[in-house]
Amino acid sequence: FGHYAMLDGIYLDVHSIIPQWTGKFYLNIIITRMPTNEKIKQFIDPAKDIEHEVNHLKWLIEHIDENPDYIENSMNYNVGSCKLRDLDKSIEFEVKKIFVMEIPNLISDFAMGQNEMFSYDRGTVTKVAIAKEDDFLRYQVGYYLAELHDRYIKRFPENEDQITNKFKREVNKQGERIFGENCLMLLLLSMMEFHSVLEAEGIRYEIGDI
């Protein structure tokens, strides 16, 4: 909800075109959409959304430069196509990606004044502005991780215990440097806190289907 732009990409074998190139070539694509719901347009800032994705691209390119195995790992371990045998490796890959590439982008967003968060439920959007950067980071990262966890559960419902246990270990490991010990518990409490803030301070808009 609310996203005007999204960063995606495809992997190409370009050796037949560029003989000097070895390995897969990652072609980045920024996708934009045309919202059909007029009421939703008030929540979208195309320029800032595109800048957000361009910043994502910057962090991604830097990460690939520092980690040449990223492309192959992305192909094998992304949540959308990983095999059950690679479930633990996939969770390690996807959780690390959030902490390495999402957090710098969220810090940049907040510095640019993009401090609003939204919730959509049964035709109603609730918007709230978050005043502190630390709160903004905790709330956003908590939601990213919750959504990621749900995607794994939907793909591998019979492996819920394995997914949850691995998630806990990996989030605590990757998040300790930024959020301290027991990172997962902190982020779960942050999500509860966000709902309280949303209920108390949020502004509600009736917009219908999005």
Q: What is the pLDDT of residues 2-51, one digit of tens each?
A: 567 888 888 888 877 888 877 778 888 999 888 778 888 888 888 888 88
Neighbours of 184 (CB within 10 A): 19
User: Is the model's pLDDT at 202 over the cut of 60?
Assistant: yes
When mean pLDDT is compared across 24-38, 54-68, 105-119, 171-185, the lowest value belongs to 24-38
pTM of the entire predicted model:
0.86
Neighbours of 94 (CB within 10 A): 23
In order of 54, 93, 110, the CA distances from 88 in angstroms are 30, 9, 32
Q: In percent, how much of the chain has pLDDT > 70? A: 98
| Cβ neighbours of residue 101 closer than 8 Å, sequence gap 6 or more | 56, 59, 60, 63
In Å, how far from its chain's centre is CA 187?
A: 15
What pairs with residue 128 in β-bridges?
117
Neighbours of 33 (CB within 10 A): 12
